[in-house]
Structure 1
Amino acid sequence: MSQHTIRLAGMLRRLTFTVVTLTATAQLLTASATAAPATAPAHASAHEIVTWGASADRMGEAASNRGYRLVVRTSAGGTDLRVRLSNAFGDRPLTFGRAYAGVQKEGAALVRGSNRSLTFGGERSVTVPAGESALSDPLPGRLPAATSLVVSLYVADTGGPATGHGMAMQTSYTSAGDHVAAEGPADWTGTTGSWFYLDAVTVRTGPDVGAVVALGDSVTDGWQSTTDHDRRWPDYLARRLQADADTHIEGVANEGISGNKVLADGAGQSALNRLHRDVLSHPGVRTVLLFEGVNDIKAHTGVTAQDLIDGYRRIIDRAHTAGVCVVGATVGPFKGWYEWDAPAEAVRREVNEFLRTGGEFDAVADFDRILRSPYDHERILPFFDNGDHLHPNDTGMQAMADSVGLRDLSCDRDAP
């Protein structure tokens, strides 16, 4: 097949999943008369991939008789949307009375006709045991790429710790009581900057299409990027992938947790302890882009470069065993942050030397080289600095995403 034919095929695939008018958006989750059911032979060559994800964490006391209208931005387009609801940190069963999926018009208002009921094993209500998750039945219909999807949940009965993602950098909405079927905003008067219970959205797409998971800390989570504008570096990466006709990596899941570490629990479970749930359990994942380590280093807990390298190796081994490739990202500069000192900088440099030259990752994304000042390699370039000397601004986030080699994400490794 010629390169011209491959490029044309990629362009046509993306056009299929593009929303071109508000009318088309209103219909994107509506099952057409010709839509095949999820089990039909027409889907035999398709497979499921993750199109959105967020790391689950402990969220404080859970509330009963509460509605959550959660706004998320998908990456890959496809059919047969499914959502995963998590009770990973609950200590008792959690009952969802109803769940709906629709498309955001503005704020808590949905595009008319887009809000549709989700089922779980054919039932509208589902009870999720403590420590478990529930995957919805496929919702027939097509979901275009880059959709502002709204998942509305009614939590009928719960208690104990809630599960969710604390720093969403996205405004979602809450209600008292069950208003999940309503497309208007009248009853959704509360706001929240967190996502509750929803930790993944998947779609079915062609068998050649895959996904990448960004596993990281607050920089990956998007801290200091502009809220409600999807300017985290994985968002910019998703837009690059969508615009590239030659890549088959279209799904992007952001599994960053602010303050997260590779080796130790604290701000969320460590990267090692959450690797299965937040990365390997997602369908269609080809590659994980690992960008963690600065919190291990700057915490001054005695973690050495060799400790961190050993942690990276454990992640690589587990991912490779599962048939998933690993792109390692160098640890960015943070001189000027209050926890920086010369010993921490020495660890960072040694770790980055391993990342660049060790040859154990399938590829390397050199975020340090992109972010650092040419006049002081220990500091973030002021043009990319949000002001705290650790977290990039929107421009820095985009520069990071632009530096990722898209071909590196297409690594294909078969599980043994």
Structure 2
Amino acid sequence: MTSTTWTRLAVPALAVSAVIVLTSLTPAQAAPVHPVGTWGASADEVGGAVGAAGLTDRSVRNLVHTSLGGSGVRVTLSNAFGDRPVTFTSTHLGLAGDGAEVVPGTNRPMTFEGADEVTVAPGTEVLSDPVDATVPADATLAVSFHVVGESGPITGHDVATQTSYVSGTAGADVAGEEAGAAFTTQISSWYWVESVVVEKPRRVRTAVFFGDSITDGNGSTAGADRRYPDQVADRLVTSRFAGRFGVMNEGISANRVLADSTGGQRGLDRFRRDVLDQPGVSTVVVLAGINDIRWDHADDASDLITAYRDLIAQAHSEDVCVVGATLTPYEGGSRYTPARDQVRVAVNEWIRTSGEFDGIVDFDAATRDPARPARFLPAYDSGDHLHPGDAGYAAMAEAFDLSLLECDR
């Protein structure tokens, strides 16, 4: 039995290339395995006119970035927030090249229970059959498919901080093409794709990063994969934990813990789907609550403390460890007031001192200006005083003690 390995070549700057190498399965690959998430994005309703109206007979090419390499690759397509069944055909997985191109020789067809077409009912999702290929760690993949007929409202991930593509001609199925010329429309959301999963030995686990726009990477450079969970994944590769954890980002911009919003279902209600139901999850990092404070859903620290205890109880019931993260400063940002900031300060004090989380990471201390603690250090500010920029997300990743992921319940 053979498996296809997609390997990047050393090439001159600005060039992209790859080769296909056929390799026999090693004894380690033949050992008992289980699914581990290498990429994820929380499902929600995609905003804007296109998101509401949907697509009709168009091909979509989503670009997503792996954290962990592996074989037996599967992809989840979600119609969780659709209002009708959506049919997908010609689903493919390949290595992303320049723009909408796929690296030649890597675009592999995917099936669903052996069929090359699948219809996903509203409120549900489907997991593909394994693709006989090994994907690299820290690589951008192209997940392509054709939408048959009228899709209705699109389930996806609104703020991707990544450019993906839709074909320009209705009716033409171009998902299997490696050229990108037919994908003439750029989109800044991910459409219908929810996760990428690989098969790994059972000691390898999934770490889920759960939260709002700061976990989602709002304010980072689009297409550069500089969200703080991405940069934690980069650190893992060069640490003693290399190959031990896949990283899934389950942040949603504008999300709240206590109340539904334009940022989707409240955290208390989506926690099971987006965290506990993920494959191989052992640890979740919770950085959430700043939007509840900003929009007066948490008038007192006790409102969020009660919610955190609920999340901890949900996770512990599934033997999943919970790392609590302090809320970052936002003086000068939208809806900042000193009174609201006092709630944030009190919440952070509880996170640091309560002992109720399995571990903590102090993102507040890592990003604040020592001379003005309610505000970001200027070098870490994206410019809106609410979200970090690339340097701020790097500081958060550096502040994260990787041994927190070893927590075992």
* TM, length-normalised to structure 1: 0.90
Indicate which of 357, 370, 379 corresponds to 1:374: 370
Contact 1:272 1:315 in 2 (8 A): yes
Indicate which of 247, 251, 258 corresponds to 2:246: 251
- Aligned residue number for residue 148 of structure 1: 140
Partner AA of 2:99 in structure 1: G
Q: Say if 2:174 is the partner of 1:185.
A: no
What is the DSSP-based 3-state SS (H/G/I as helix, E as strand, rest coil) of the residue aligned with 1:309?
A: helix
Distance in 2 separating the partners of 1:185 and 1:204? 29
Distance in 2 separating the partners of 1:379 and 1:249? 35
- Aligned residue number for residue 46 of structure 1: 33
- Aligned residue number for residue 93 of structure 2: 101
Shifted more, 51-60 versus 117-126: the winner is 51-60
Inter-CA distance 243–42: structure 2 relative to 1 (3 Å threshold): closer
* TM, length-normalised to structure 2: 0.92
What is the DSSP-based 3-state SS (H/G/I as helix, E as strand, rest coil) of the residue aligned with 2:335?
A: coil
Distance in 2 separating the partners of 1:248 and 1:190? 36
**Shift of the alpha carbon at 1:194?**
0.6
Report % sequence identity. 45
Inter-CA distance 344–20: structure 2 relative to 1 (3 Å threshold): same
Q: Say if 2:44 is the partner of 1:57.
A: yes
Q: Say if 2:106 is the partner of 1:126.
A: no
Distance in 2 separating the partners of 1:165 and 1:344? 29
Distance in 2 separating the partners of 1:303 and 1:152? 45
Distance in 2 separating the partners of 1:76 and 1:98? 25
Contact 1:93 1:158 in 2 (8 A): no
**Shift of the alpha carbon at 1:372?**
0.7
Distance in 1 separating the partners of 2:298 and 2:203? 44
- Aligned residue number for residue 332 of structure 2: 336
Distance in 2 separating the partners of 1:186 and 1:271? 39
- Aligned residue number for residue 72 of structure 2: 80
Distance in 2 separating the partners of 1:256 and 1:131? 20
Partner AA of 1:182 in structure 2: E
- Aligned residue number for residue 400 of structure 1: 396
Distance in 2 separating the partners of 1:41 and 1:409? 23
What is the DSSP-based 3-state SS (H/G/I as helix, E as strand, rest coil) of the residue aligned with 1:27?
A: strand
Q: In the comparison of the two structures, how many residue pairs are matched? A: 392
Alignment of 1:284-363 (within 5 A): 284-301=280-297, 303-363=299-359
What is the DSSP-based 3-state SS (H/G/I as helix, E as strand, rest coil) of the residue aligned with 1:220?
A: helix
Distance in 1 separating the partners of 2:350 and 2:33? 39
Contact 1:88 1:132 in 2 (8 A): yes
Partner AA of 1:184 in structure 2: A
Distance in 1 separating the partners of 2:282 and 2:6? 21
Inter-CA distance 364–33: structure 2 relative to 1 (3 Å threshold): closer
**Shift of the alpha carbon at 1:20?**
4.8
Shifted more, 158-167 versus 136-145: the winner is 158-167
**Shift of the alpha carbon at 1:158?**
3.5
Distance in 1 separating the partners of 2:217 and 2:375? 19
Alignment of 1:179-218 (within 5 A): 179-218=174-213
Inter-CA distance 17–396: structure 2 relative to 1 (3 Å threshold): farther
Deviations 1:186-219 (A, max 9, x none): 2111110110000000001122111211101111
Contact 2:93 2:108 in 1 (8 A): yes
Contact 1:77 1:205 in 2 (8 A): no
**Shift of the alpha carbon at 1:284?**
1.3
Contact 1:211 1:285 in 2 (8 A): yes
**Shift of the alpha carbon at 1:347?**
0.7
Distance in 2 separating the partners of 1:229 and 1:283? 26
Distance in 1 separating the partners of 2:359 and 2:374? 23
Distance in 2 separating the partners of 1:75 and 1:93? 31
What is the DSSP-based 3-state SS (H/G/I as helix, E as strand, rest coil) of the residue aligned with 1:50?
A: strand
Alignment of 1:19-30 (within 5 A): 19-21=8-10, 25-27=18-20
- Aligned residue number for residue 8 of structure 1: none
Contact 2:72 2:134 in 1 (8 A): yes
Distance in 2 separating the partners of 1:159 and 1:20? 39
**Shift of the alpha carbon at 1:248?**
5.5
Structure 2, unmatched stretches of 5+, are: 47-51
**Shift of the alpha carbon at 1:295?**
0.2
Inter-CA distance 212–302: structure 2 relative to 1 (3 Å threshold): closer
